[in-house]
């Protein structure tokens, strides 16, 4: 699956990039702002976007909704699970800090929900 990461923390973004790569996914970019994320989505056409809930002080929520309106699935990254109750359009929530096991579980759930036919290989 082709995945874009929208995460403010370079360390977290690189950890996520590495784990996704190890799981066989292609990371098509890393964005550190909402606007950068939207621009990279337009350029790279990802199958999925991993969005930090707190990007730019909480604009991850707006980004997920904008992606949803464009038909692009997203996974929320959050260190505060109770605060993500508002997320209705995200395919899943990946708690931070995340482990390889939790990422594998979330990605399997997302892949099932999207269906293999919708995913670029």
Q: How confident is the model at residue 117 (pLDDT cuts 50, 70, 90)?
A: very low
Phi–psi pair at 26, nearest 5 degrees: -105, 120
pTM: 0.89
Catalogue all structural domains in the chain, each as residue range(s) with its CATH number: 2-104 (3.40.50.2300)
DSSP code string of 18-84 = HHHHHTT-EEEEEESSHHHHHHHHHHH--SEEEEETTTTTTTHHHHHHHHHHTT--EEEEES-GGGG
Q: How confident is the model at residue 84 (pLDDT cuts 50, 70, 90)?
A: low
pLDDT tens digit sequence for 21-65: 999 999 999 999 999 999 999 999 999 999 998 888 778 888 999
Least confident of 30-34, 64-68, 78-82, 100-104: 78-82
Residue 39, C-beta contacts closer than 8 angstroms, at least 6 positions apart? 31
């Amino acid at each position: 699956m082709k995945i874009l990461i929208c995460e403010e923390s370079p360390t977290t973004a690189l950890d996520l990039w590495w784990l996704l790569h190890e799981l066989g996914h292609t990371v098509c970019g890393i964005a550190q702002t909402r606007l950068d994320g939207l621009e990279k989505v337009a350029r790279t056409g990802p199958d999925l976007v991993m969005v930090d809930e707190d990007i730019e002080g909480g604009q991850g929520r707006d980004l997920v909704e904008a992606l949803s309106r464009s038909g692009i699935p997203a996974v929320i990254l959050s260190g505060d699970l109770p605060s993500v109750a508002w997320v209705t359009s995200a395919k899943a929530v990946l708690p931070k800090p995340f482990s390889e096991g939790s990422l594998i579980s979330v990605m399997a759930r997302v892949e099932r929900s999207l269906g293999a036919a919708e995913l670029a290989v």
